[in-house]
Amino acid sequence: MNLAFEEVRHGVGRFAATTAGIGLLFTVVLAMAGIYNGLVDDATILLRSLHADVWVVQQGTRGPFADTSRLDVSVESRVAAVAGVRRARGLSYQVLQREAGRGNLRFALVGLPWPECRDDAPPLVAGRGLEQAHGELVADASLGLSVGAKVSLAREEFTVVGLTRQLLASSGDAVVLATLADAQLVLADLPADAVRTERERRAERLRATDLGRGQPSLEGLLADPEWRPPALATPPIVAVLVEADDPARIGEIRAALAAWPDVSVFAAAEEERLLLDGVVEKPRRQLALFAAILLVTSSVLIGAIVYARTLDKTHTIAVLKLMGAPRRRIAGMVLQQSWAMGALGYAIAVAVGAQAFPHFPRRVVLDLVTIGAVGAIVLAVSTAASLLGVRYALRVDPGQALEG
Amino acid sequence: MEALRAEHLSKHYGAGATLVRALTDVSLRLESGAVCALLGPSGSGKSTLVKALGLVSLPDAGRIWMGGRLVVDGDAALGSLDVLRRRHLGFVFQKANLIPFLSARKNVELACEIGGVEPPRRRTDELLAYLELAHRADAMPTELSGGEQQRVAVARALANRPAILLADEPTAALDRERGRAVMELFARVAHEQGTAVLVVTHDHRTLDLFDLSYEMEDGRLKA
């Protein structure tokens, strides 16, 4: 006869109510683990979807996602000329937040070179990939945009032509794909007043020089649309994605590019590690600390509940001892209840999580390994939590059974 | 046949000015199949004696034999107390002290399991039938009357076929009629099952049911 089960069955309502509370705590622990998984997944999903063998970024930086990187667009064609490179693609990346309707639309705008991006469309759940050089976007479905939706950026109207699922940046923001030219257009967008002010500054600087004072006609060139230099330089790209024509030549390409003084070069695995160590490390530690605090809280709570239940059973335990019940049976009764509380609480957590996590703003990724690992931790926590109760139970004097 | 023998048991609590001699040189003998009353006013040492004989609180000095085997020598038990209690003793308390989350049947069945009786279910049915409780087997303790609860407690105490049954004021919580019925039950158990029964009681009106009675006063035993 299992005494723990019999007692739980007798007071199932009270036990279930207590366990439900524990279950909610475990739900948060599970969410922490799932958010961490999601963080790692989100951080790497875009990187992996770009299928680069080698990443070329600004010299001395660890860009483009873990660090700010700025490369001149010419680097793309220079890299393409290196022996063994099948393809080199410039990439632009910026996180934008724009008003849309009553809320904000926040996303990472990734610019891909045209026309190569026509063949590189990530898996779509609706619509099509980018098929025109200008005015089209492929957005992640989590933004809530539909195919055909219009988005205003840089005083231009863009049309959403396709939707991806779970294509997120390391920040957790949904990714929107555009052609590199469109993305740079958005990046270079400045109010007309700012452009005019910059032109006026140039004229002022020219007037301050001997050349400007001696040849006032030069000032006219600044205003001539045919000669006018742009107010801003061509917006930079953040990285060049390199694909080797033979995987065996990746090392060779990397070595060649590493010799250049203006770039840093990373293999795909290194880039992924940089991203995880940089972007994910602090949130990971934060989540781990939260989870640890919650586990300690759960442990204290289960311990207090089990201890209180054991105190309630003092007389019963004394009777059992007087009857000669072995110590392991008495300890087992307390321990098994703690396990039952942990196991049921965890089952509630998994069930609640399955319903609630899909509605979380950040992705919560739970796989069987995570569920199993957190379950094992819950088992350990439940065992530790029961120790005080077990200790008390084993110290109950059987003589108390004789005392009325 | 001798079920229990105790010789020269002594027990004291405290020291110096607060020294209390709970038992002084107590010797007694219980025969199998005999029902014996232990009388005495409050504080006379009855409960201390039952605790000593029940291997709950060992004496400071003296010896106890159970079934002819020496089990306590001085203040030391010669074996595991749990095992000795499981093997030789059954207890009935002032209140029934049934386990509140188990039915009458399961209370008895648990005692059978602890006592190592196989199969526990058959022994349980046997005892419930013997104590005329078969029809109340599935009732929870709160659904049983005081008398029924005490009968279940007796069934539980007999589950491991003990040679010695110790009952500490088992009728204290019952009215006169039910109290007498329980005492009759002890006499019946002793005579029919061959168990040595020692009952602590204040109730002199049921003394006619006992084969032998002891009286305690100031920690000493008078036959």
Digit-coded pLDDT (tens) for A301-344: 888 888 888 888 898 899 898 888 888 999 999 999 889 988 99
B16 touches chain A (CB under 8 A): no
Per-residue pLDDT at B13 exceeds 80: yes
- Min Cα–Cα distance to chain A from B5, Å: 20
Asked whether residue B47 is domain-assigned, the answer is yes
- Min Cα–Cα distance to chain A from B121, Å: 11
Question: What local confidence, expressed as pLDDT, does residue A3 receive?
Answer: 86
Give how many domains chain B has, as a whole number. Answer: 1
DSSP bridge pairs for B4: B30, B66
Per-residue pLDDT at B46 exceeds 60: yes
Query: Which residues on A lie below 8 Å from B171 (Cβ)?
Result: none
Nearest chain A residue to B99 by CA distance is A316
Torsional class of A135: left (φ above 0), alpha (ψ -120 to 50), beta (otherwise): left
Q: Tell me the CA end-to-end span of chain B in Å, nearest whole number.
A: 19
Question: What local confidence, expressed as pLDDT, does residue A393 receive?
Answer: 92
Asked whether residue B3 is domain-assigned, the answer is no
Count H helices and E strands in chain A, helices first.
13, 10
Calpha distance B47→A123 (Å, rounded): 82
Asked whether residue B176 is domain-assigned, the answer is yes
Asked whether residue B137 is domain-assigned, the answer is yes
- Min Cα–Cα distance to chain A from B211, Å: 24
pLDDT tens readout for residues B21-31: 888 899 999 88
pLDDT tens readout for residues B108-149: 999 998 888 888 888 898 888 888 888 888 999 999 988 888
ipTM given for this complex:
0.82
Nearest chain B residue to A396 by CA distance is B56
B50·A323 Cβ contact <8 A: no
Interface test with B, best of A319, A336, A397, A400 (most B CBs within 10 A): A319
Q: CA of A217: how far to CAs of A200, A221, B20, in Å? A: 15, 7, 123
- Min Cα–Cα distance to chain B from A381, Å: 27
Cα–chain-centroid distance for residue A25? 23
User: What are the residue ranges in chain A where pLDDT is below 50?
Assistant: none
What is the span of the domain harbouring residue B136?
31-58+80-222
Count H helices and E strands in chain B, helices first.
6, 11
Q: Beta strand pairing status for B212-217 and B35-39?
A: parallel
Query: Which residues on B lie below 8 Å from A323 (Cβ)?
Result: 85-86, 91, 110-111, 114-115, 156, 160
User: Could you tell me the two tokens for A264?
Assistant: 């840093």
Question: What local confidence, expressed as pLDDT, does residue A120 receive?
Answer: 67
Q: Beta strand pairing status for A150-153 and A156-164?
A: antiparallel
Question: What local confidence, expressed as pLDDT, does residue A348 receive?
Answer: 93
Query: Which residues on A lie below 8 Å from B167 (Cβ)?
Result: none
Asked whether residue B105 is domain-assigned, the answer is yes
Asked whether residue B152 is domain-assigned, the answer is yes
- Min Cα–Cα distance to chain B from A326, Å: 7
Asked whether residue B90 is domain-assigned, the answer is yes
Query: Which residues on A lie below 8 Å from B106 (Cβ)?
Result: 1, 6
How deeply is A214 buried, as exposed, middle or buried, from its count of CB atoms within 10 A (0-12, 13-18, 19+)?
exposed
| Partner residue facing A322 (CB), from B85, B95, B113 | B85
Collapse the DSSP code of B200 into the 3-class scheme (helix H, G, I; strand E, B; otherwise coil) and give the result: strand
Asked whether residue B73 is domain-assigned, the answer is no
Query: Which residues on A lie below 8 Å from B160 (Cβ)?
Result: 323-324
Identify the CATH number of the domain in which residue B129 sits. Answer: 3.40.50.300
Collapse the DSSP code of A150 into the 3-class scheme (helix H, G, I; strand E, B; otherwise coil) and give the result: strand
Calpha distance A1→B75 (Å, rounded): 35
Interface A:B, Cβ pairs < 8 A: 73
Q: Beta strand pairing status for B69-73 and A150-153?
A: unpaired
B111 touches chain A (CB under 8 A): yes
Question: What local confidence, expressed as pLDDT, does residue A351 receive?
Answer: 94
Question: What local confidence, expressed as pLDDT, does residue B179 receive?
Answer: 79
| Partner residue facing B102 (CB), from A6, A322, A329 | A6
